[in-house]
Amino acid sequence: MVLTAPRPRTISAEVAARLERHIADDLSPGDKLPPERELCATLNISRATLREALRALEDRRLIERRPGRGTVVCAPPEPQLALSFEPSTDEGAREFAQAAELRRIVEPQVAELAALRATELDLAQLDEILRESHAGLTAEESLRLDVEFHRRLAVAAGNPLLVGVCEAMNGLVHDVRLRSHLAREGRRNSIEGHQRLYAALAAHNPAAARRAMDDHLADVGELIAGLDEILRSEPELR
């Protein structure tokens, strides 16, 4: 795989990624961000850098800057697509296979579009998720970061309908994915696959991104197929 060197991200993109995570983790719709002067002092940045970061978040409709009222967190958009069914015990394996097939159809295209359209903010957010990921996490925390990484890829693709599709797929295969993250090998495979995807996106190489996603999903499929044996070989599950 030949990749060009990734372009360095701006300070404003890094700031926007930090603020976006703060909004997601700590704030609710209608909450206000601190005043600009306070944010500049806390983050040790200039007001021009902060305003560029806030513009990026405003473009994503995460915040709204209102004269005289400050910067307010927006409500998340209504889901663009919702797929739902309750797999029965008898049909669970077949329905999981169908959802996995859907992932193999959709997600390589998502990765390709993301490589073409990813902004500095998208790359900064994906990089932050990778920095938090390691094989020593609990299964639940590892899965949360896995799901968030794939959701952020869909956001980077620039089509909100694809975000809805990916979120629906995440729900359909949640239980199986959680089991795969019980295995240390599963957590390692997830991180390594995400690192290859990130490298392709950072190089803005759509063909490499598609290949990386194809390989990642193939690795996931192989791991799930042998998951029972893998879990039996790992006596201490985190």
Residue 181: pLDDT over 80: yes
Vertex 134, ends 129 and 140: CA angle to 5°?
80
**What pLDDT does 238 receive?**
43
Residue 211: pLDDT over 60: yes
**What's the rounded mean pLDDT across residues 89-110?**
79
For 36, half-sphere exposure in the C-beta direction (CA atoms, 13 angstrom radius) is: 17
**What's the rounded mean pLDDT across residues 165-181?**
83
Distance CA 148, CA 163 (A): 11
Residue 96: pLDDT over 50: yes
Residue 206: pLDDT over 70: yes
Residue 79: pLDDT over 60: no
Q: What SS3 class is residue 79?
A: coil
- Read off the pLDDT of residues 7-55 as tens digits, 9 standing for 90 and up: 456 788 888 888 988 888 888 999 999 999 999 999 999 999 999 999 8
Task: Specify the DSSP element, H or E, that contains 65.
Answer: strand 63-66
**195 vs 16 pLDDT, higher one:** 195
Residue 90: pLDDT over 70: no
Task: Specify the DSSP element, H or E, that contains 128.
Answer: helix 120-132
* Cβ(107)–Cβ(218) below 8 Å: no
Mean pLDDT taken over the chain:
84
Cα torsion through 67, 68, 71, 75, rounded to 10 = -80
Q: Which residue(s) pair with 32 in the sheet?
A: 72
**What pLDDT does 56 receive?**
87
Residue 61: pLDDT over 70: yes
Q: Using a CB cutoff of 8 Å and minimum separation of 24, what contacts does 68-72 make?
A: 69/32, 70/32, 70/33, 70/35, 71/32, 71/33, 71/36, 72/30, 72/31, 72/32, 72/33
